[in-house]
Structure 1
């Protein structure tokens, strides 16, 4: 060991200080930790706790939601393709922000209203014609959840009442293409990424100087999920549901959205 005094770094955790030859840099506080304390939860990261305690983002680059009464902000623009206004992830769908364009389309003729009433009265038929708003996304997640629980994999040490299930679409060059997995609701999105990578033996360069990083995106719109946000907060804000589909992909650090999200299939 004396022949290589500069090799590796000591863990920043005061109670550890272990010399690690493959140290990890925390995305939250920026400090260096050993393999046992690389996750924010393991070294009680104060910066991550600040992010997860409040749903608001106070940085220089953030975009406020234009929905009346909503104080939500996002790291990237989430623009409605119809009314061209900006919203938070919770109000991104037309039905969630009462899109003025949606109202115009629905009220155009009495025939359109009549068709809408027929569809609403027969929820078990012609399901492909249902609205793609937040309510249908939540319903779809509930249906998917029952299937996911049958064959999902994950850390068996997570208590049953703390498990959150997702269908994870893996990077395009990975086989299989997707996998049902469960995670702890106390974890951050960053830890979810690390868990998926470890379990599926995917190269994870998030704690290195690599140009590309593994990031998690919403499958229904391709929008980036904040790595410092906790799953519990995402569930409360209904950014994600228990049973949602997400995409794991290696992208450049400035990527805020995957535009070919429809190409990711099971």
Structure 2
């Protein structure tokens, strides 16, 4: 409940509570005074009379009415509103902050979009071509170094670092179990893959076929089978239950090496 005004005779009893009405000849102390938009303080009685004639208050109300005239963004599907106009110099339409930097206000034809995409793609294509050429040169140097017993260990480390940066595999394989291979595919392309060292040769072939989208008929009789070969074209193992770890421990294959996956007959142990 609102506190009552007190007379001047009571002012000395509560000198620091409330505020005095600034109306001439009033000066009543009000515990919950009314403050006008012109920053003057009144009691209830004189505030009501003052608010009718206050010019500053009228101006504030007028400004509030102007703010109600919101501008809606012209971007299709956007309902953002603003009191500040952001007008495009080309089409003279208002856009919100999010869409004020749209590249165009006039729709292009599909051919114009295609031409624009081709222009934007030029730097990317040039970079990809240069990178592919650089990768081929590095691959040649690594391949030649692999043939040199003195350089083989260092070349293998370099290839392993490159494979780790781009290899794909199951995230569920613990990092301590991951073994990285550069897979040479039947299409003559390459793919960096990591597998688990506890997997068997059969499981590894199935996974490489899956992730590289190779047709796998290893469980069908009378069909060509997928097998893994070393780069010297000798089969990695013709025993499908051999584990990757056993082959690495016996140095048949090393972490980071390139291996070939190819379709062959059941009894093939060396690629042509």
Q: Specify the TM-score bucket, using the shorter chain as the normaliser.
A: 0.3 to 0.5
Whose relative contact order is higher, 1 or 2, with alpha carbons under 8 Å and at least 6 apart?
A: 1
User: More helix by proportion, 1 or 2?
Assistant: 2
TM-score, normalisation: structure 2: 0.44
TM-score, normalisation: structure 1: 0.45
Q: Which has the larger radius of gyration?
A: 2
